[in-house]
């Protein structure tokens, strides 16, 4: 199994959710984060303001190895350039505390 993390702009959440749902991935964790991108400029009350932190959403989901590449292709298709980053990491074990289920059954 792998954990796929999408670090995206807030407006891109629907695109990420649609991609996950197309691959029958319904479980996800969404966390509001801020990233330091070397500063960007926004207009606030008519004045240019340099902002050091940018709001992002971190969307994480554990998926089967077999669908990772197709899911990544779907995410790249659904997202616009500059919407964020995608990470894939290996998961050694998933354990559902309530039932003791392990592996795919625990997801």
pLDDT at 104 (0 to 100): 83
Which domains, ranges and CATH numbers included, belong to the chain?
Answer: 2-106 (3.30.70.120)
pLDDT at 76 (0 to 100): 94
Share of the chain above pLDDT 90, in %: 66
**Neighbour tally for 49: CB within 10 Å:** 10
Residue 19 pLDDT grade (very low, low, confident, very high; cuts 50, 70, 90): very high
pLDDT at 95 over 90: yes
Convert the pLDDT of each residue in 34-75 to its tens digit.
887 766 677 778 888 777 788 999 999 999 999 999 999 999
Q: Which of 1, 3, 2, 8 is nearest to 75 (CA)?
A: 8
Rounded distance, CA 96 to CA 106, Å? 5
- At a CB cut-off of 8 Å and minimum separation 6, what does 94 contact? 1, 62, 102, 103, 104, 106, 107
Average pLDDT, rounded, for the chain: 90
Rounded distance, CA 88 to CA 86, Å? 7
pTM given for the model? 0.81
């Amino acid at each position: 199994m792998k954990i796929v993390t999408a670090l995206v702009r807030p407006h891109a959440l629907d695109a990420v959710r649609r991609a996950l749902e197309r691959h029958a991935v319904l479980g996800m964790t969404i966390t509001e984060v801020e990233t330091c991108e070397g500063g960007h400029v926004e207009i606030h009350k008519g004045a240019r303001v340099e902002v050091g932190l940018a709001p992002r959403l971190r969307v994480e989901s554990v998926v089967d190895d077999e669908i990772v590449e197709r899911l990544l292709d779907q995410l790249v298709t659904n997202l616009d350039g500059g919407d964020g980053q995608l990470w894939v990491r290996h998961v050694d074990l998933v354990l559902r505390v309530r039932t003791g289920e392990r592996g795919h059954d625990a997801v």
